[in-house]
Structure formats: C-alpha cells, structure tokens
Amino acid sequence: MVAVAVVAVAAPAARGGGDTSGSGGLGDPFFPRSGNGGYDVMAYDVDLRYEPDRNRFLGGTRTTVTADVTQPDGLTSFHLDYRGPSVKRVRVNGETADFSRRGQELIVRPDELVGLGEELETTVVYKGRPKHIRDPDGSIEGWVRTGDGAFVVGEPRGSPTWFPSNDHPSDKALFEISIDVPKPSKAISNGTLEITKLGRDRRLFEWSSDAPMATYLATATVGRFKTDKDTSFDPPGPPAYSYVAVDKAFSDEGAIDRGAEIIDHFDDVPGFGPYPFDETGGIVDPAPRVGYALETQTRPIYPVRPDPILVAHELAHQWFGNQITLADWSEIWLNEGFATWAEWWWDEEDGGATTAQRLDGFCQGGPFNPPPGAVPGPEEMFAGSVYDRGAATLEALRDVIGDADFFGVLAAWAAQDPDGAYTTDDLIALVKAESGLDAEIDDHFDDWVFAEGKPDGCSAPKAGTASLEAVLGVGDLAPRR
C-alpha cells in the first residue's frame, strides 16, 4: 500500500476537460496487466451469496472497493482486475457509473472526474458462475469447484475470479469478507469470524482482519467442515484466535494441530519477531486438481492432510510473504526462499536434518536452475530452485556473515513496514548494513541468486552430511506455495 499525501482539492469537475484514465496494468515483469494505476486501495468489502450445488453467485453478490485517488490529474475512468461472472451494475461514490469489460479488465467510467486525494468508493454487483483459471505453469487457481463447494486460492492472479480488485501484491488493503451459503455448508476466510447468522436454510459467515493483506492471500473456501475455534493461546499475545476447518471427508487433520507449537518456535527465533497477526489456524479441504498448499493470510489452506514441515512452510510465510511482501512477481524467491529456509529450521528443531546438512544436500544435487533471482518467466516462477536454492542462498549467507549478523538480517527484514513492497536489492542493502560487508555481499548474491548453474559457493560437503534423499525428502510432500 502506497501512502498518499493529504492535499486540498477542488470540488469534482465534470467530465469534458479531457480524459484522465488510470492505467490498466502496472507492468509487472511476469503479469503486465495485473494491478492498475491511478488509485491506492484502502479496503475491500466482499459480500458473496453462493450456491454450492450449482456453483453460482446469487443475486445480492457484490464487492465494494474503497480507494484513494493518486493520479495527479484525477480519474475520469479507471480499471479493476476482474475475471468473474456477469456484472449487473457499478456505482462510484453512490452514483451509477458506466462500465465495460475487456479481457481481465473491468473499466469503470464515473459521471464526474474524481480528484487527487479524494475517496473512490466503487461497488460492483455481479451474478453467475465463478470459474478457475490456468496459470502459465499449468496449475489452476481462483474459484476451484469441489464436490461440496469451492477451494479458493489466488496466487498469483486467481482472486479476480471471485471479486474485482487491484490485483497486485504491491497494493495491500484491509478486508471484510462475508459468505452466505446454504446449510450445512460452512464458509472459511481470513481473520476472525465476527458473526455467524443462522437462518432457516442458510448461514452467513462474516470474516474480518485488522491487518493489511495482498489480494492473492484472500480466500472464501466453502465446504462441509469440522471446525475448531481456540482463544486459549499461551503465552499471551498474538495470535489470540485460532480457527481450524477440516473437511469431513478426512478422518484426521494431519499436523495442522501443531501450528501453535510451530509458531512458538518461530517466535523464539531471534530474527522472526512476534507472530504478525492476531489470528491463525488452517483449512484442510481435498482438492486434488489444485494439488498445492497456499499461505492464505492467517489461515493457510491445504489440499491434503499436511505434515509438520508443510505447516511450518505455510506459517513461516505469515512473516515472510504476507507481512513482508514482494514488490512484483519476479521477486517470488523472497517469499519462497525465506519460507523454505524456515521449514528447514523447524525440521532441525523437530529432529530432522540440520540446516547445514540441507545446504550440503542441495549442493550435491540441486535443483540449480533457473536461478531464483533470474527466473525467465511465469512458467517457472514456482520451480524447485526458487524454493531450495532460495533457502540455500540464506543458509550460505549465514556462513558468510555469521549467526549474529544473519539473525540480525532476519530481524531487520521482518521488522520493515508491512505496507511496503520489497525487492532483492532491498535485501542486499539490508545485509550490507547489518554485516558491514560490501563486495563480499555482492559476490554472494551474484553467485547464489543470479548466476546460472551450480553456485561456486557450493564447497565440499561438511562432515556428517545426510544422504541426498534424506536431506531433500521435502520434495515428496504436496507442493507448497
């Protein structure tokens, strides 16, 4: 989220002095049309009425997007990312607005120019069947229908299948998500369940969170779940609220019940700092067509019963990826490298291979390409090297700068402004500041993050190295994002 200076502006001007349209895309290296220009979103209020049997959004489904105008000349039109069902009407600041659709773009034309610094409140009413999309790597995301509802994931561009948005990680906002479903379905989202209204035939689940969130981290998963709410965390402090939902098709929930233990461990790591949100939990919902877990904010979602390493990976993302968010999708290794190093750290605590053994195992067999900081395109953004070479970059950095500076880097990285959007260059600058080194750090990142092939820093294995199969056995888990 970008801070907007408060300025005095004149009353809205009528259209006619020339069009000032916000851009329909931010030029992201991987997804140039994702995101939009001219405004900064403050909040989303998503109100869904869903019929699982027919996979339909019913009448009354709407999303209100509250934003501040950032374009100096104001806006006579602007874009929202939207791939969902038919739009029935659009209102801007209470007045009916013209609109059209082109590809993933919903183009809105208010009757009057909305000036710099003014509030832009856009309500989109829509109805029909939401669908999933297929990503360049062949995976699916968005509103993915299941046997009893929907498995809803949004990385990197699936959220516009179910709500109009400024769909880019650089623009985080507050969310309130309400889902009206028929009994006995339940609807699970991010944050805290504020109200469950019980009617004769339907239920309304209202979720809210007081922390900003990127659009791709939102969920509105629907199914027939066993649920467990817990407000008894010890020691006191965040998280104060846990909500776990496990599909009734599963006889057990896997390791999701170890979440509090894993969070406590990460809280104790010198560089993580306190868990960043008031809420936690998880969703376990069978979705074999999806086949990967995702760190949906406060409440990760799993398509299988997760084991502890997978839970650790997705919970680590709450710090690295959710609280501290990448500036664009070409920087995806900053999310996945940190979360994978954290899963290694947790596994060492849990009696598995040490992080040093993991590094040696990586050096024996990779995966080395593509380099995590030079992924050629979205087809490979979730390649194994983004995860494992990203984690190896951090563990090798620990060897270069020592434990004290390494954990100082983690602490400084996690303590940055959660409204910011961060790059590899930001990380390099931070490492230099913490370590007092310069050329050595440039050489390290050139070797480990940007160069093709096996990093030169992969030296002979250290004593006590585990077998490659033992060290890299994480590959046998359900894929993680």
Residue 8 has pLDDT above 90, yes or no: no
Residue 475 has pLDDT above 60, yes or no: no
226 vs 285: CA distance, rounded Å: 11
Tell me the average pLDDT across 364-388: 98
DSSP of 331-364: GTHHHHHHHHHHHHHHHHHTTS--HHHHHHHHHH
Tell whether 256 is covered by a domain: no
Residue 470 has pLDDT above 50, yes or no: no
State the CB neighbour count (10 A cutoff) for residue 359: 29
Residue 276 has pLDDT above 80, yes or no: yes
At residue 70, the pLDDT reads 98
Contact 363, 454 (CB under 8 A): yes
Tell whether 242 is covered by a domain: no
At residue 221, the pLDDT reads 98
**In the chain, % of residues over pLDDT 90:** 86
pLDDT digits (tens, 9 = 90+) for 105-151: 999 999 999 999 999 999 999 999 999 999 999 999 999 999 999 99
Q: Residue 352 maps to which CATH number?
A: 1.10.390.10
At residue 6, the pLDDT reads 28
199 lies in the same domain as 348: no
78 lies in the same domain as 218: yes
Single residue among 173, 204, 223 that ends a domain in this structure: 223
Q: Residue 269: which pLDDT band, with cuts at 50, 70 and 90?
A: confident
At residue 467, the pLDDT reads 36
Q: Residue 134 maps to which CATH number?
A: 2.60.40.1730
Tell whether 250 is covered by a domain: no
Contact 441, 431 (CB under 8 A): yes
At residue 234, the pLDDT reads 61
Question: Please, what's the b/e burial string for 309-324 (b: 16 or more CB within 10 A of its CB; e: otherwise)?
Answer: bbbbbbbbbbbbbbbb
Q: Residue 478: which pLDDT band, with cuts at 50, 70 and 90?
A: low
**Average pLDDT taken over every residue of the chain:** 92
340 lies in the same domain as 200: no
At residue 456, the pLDDT reads 97
pLDDT digits (tens, 9 = 90+) for 309-331: 999 999 999 999 999 999 999 99
At residue 463, the pLDDT reads 36
Lowest mean pLDDT among 82-86, 265-269, 389-393: 265-269
Instruction: Tell me which residue range forms the domain holding 53.
Output: 39-223
Single residue among 199, 223, 247 that ends a domain in this structure: 223
Tell me the average pLDDT across 16-20: 68
